[in-house]
Amino acid sequence: MTDRLTMQDPREQYAKPPFPKQPQPVPGLAAKMDPQPDHGETSYKGSGRLAGRKALVTGGDSGIGRAAAIAYAREGADVAIAYLPGEMTDAQDVIALIEAEGRTAVALPGDITDENWCKQLVADAVAGLGGLDILVINAGHQQARDSIAEVTSKDFDVTMKTNLYAMHWITQAAVPHLKPGSAVITTASVQAYDPSAILLDYATTKAGIVAYTKALAKQLIEKGVRANVVAPGPFWTALQASGGQPPEKVMTFGEQSAFGRPGQPVEIAPVYVLLASQEASFTTGEVYGVTGGAGIA
Ligand code: NAD
Ligand code: MG
């Protein structure tokens, strides 16, 4: 394949639909995806922009979080990743990649819908890394449902707990550790402002993440800490293949972007690097879209 940074037509750079039908149970595994997503395993090259930094990435086992974790390690950071115990195999791949850079990796398996675990995982990250100065809230739950009638209280609760409550619990526990120059980065979606009918509960949480992060940014600047949001469009990740979209929609996923394809996780990693680094020293309370020119249909 042509090097990622060689000048080329971005529409032709990565796989296009149609993709094979590939339903997976929740949580999906990156290792089972066809084609394999590019999280930067061989394609992301660092340049020391996060030398010596200490980062916690929730959902760092797969997808966008894995791409951020790999990029952070390549940029010189030690990285802790939080994930569900059922994702251990994906997580082990990421741990090995972080360690291959000579950086410290901390594995944090557990369920973030549990408040106590959210507090514990932050404590474990701080202990394992020897501090914390980059917090990436990226873990998310998304299940497509055709009708409001199908969204049970249990469904609604899991989506709220994973996407909103856990963000609050983890951020609340992390803030006392953040020194001036630290950065918080949350992960919303184009769904925050252009919601799909089938993602009622999920889209609601993504709008909430934007509001929360903007309010947080106003609080944290008094500590010299920045907070920003990344708002992805369609990315080729296990979230979509494990019920985030109906199985037949996964086969055409990304078709409606201006590029005619989904984004690959490595294509959003540079934004997570920028927002974490001191290069973004005048940037807070912003929402960075990386959508391929359009949202998810
Ligand atoms: P992904 O499935 O690879 O990552 C999501 C991660 O969330 C999982 O790997 C899992 O570790 C974590 N997670 C979910 N429930 C959890 C729980 N109860 N406890 C602990 N961890 C839990 O998918 P992704 O697409 O990379 O998702 C990352 C973020 O990007 C999510 O917030 C998602 O909403 C957002 N996003 C994705 C897309 C897309 O098209 N893929 C678009 C917009 C926004
Ligand atoms: Mg995963």
* Helix 63-74 × helix 88-100 angle, to 10°: 20
Q: Say how far apart CA 202 and CA 189 lie, in whole Å.
A: 10
Please list every protein residue whose CB sits less than 6 Å from any atom of ligand 1. Answer: 27-28, 59, 61-65, 83-84, 87, 111-113, 138-142, 162, 187, 189, 232, 234-235, 237-240
Tens digits of residue pLDDT in 211-267: 999 999 999 999 999 999 999 999 999 999 999 999 999 999 999 999 999 999 999
* Marked catalytic residue, from 14, 72, 83, 202: 202
Q: Say how far apart CA 250 and CA 244 lie, in whole Å.
A: 9
Whose alpha carbon is nearest atom 3 of ligand 1?
Answer: 63
Question: Does residue 202 carry a catalytic annotation?
Answer: yes
Question: From ligand 2's centre to the CA of 151, what distance in Å?
Answer: 23
Tens digits of residue pLDDT in 193-227: 999 999 999 999 999 999 999 999 999 999 999 99
pTM above 0.85, yes or no: yes
Q: Which residues contact 247 (CB under 8 A, 6 or more apart)?
A: 21, 22, 23
Whose alpha carbon is nearest atom 31 of ligand 1?
Answer: 140
Percent of the chain exceeding pLDDT 90 equals 98
Q: Say how far apart CA 142 and CA 26 lie, in whole Å.
A: 9
| Domain 48-281, CATH class in plain words | alpha beta
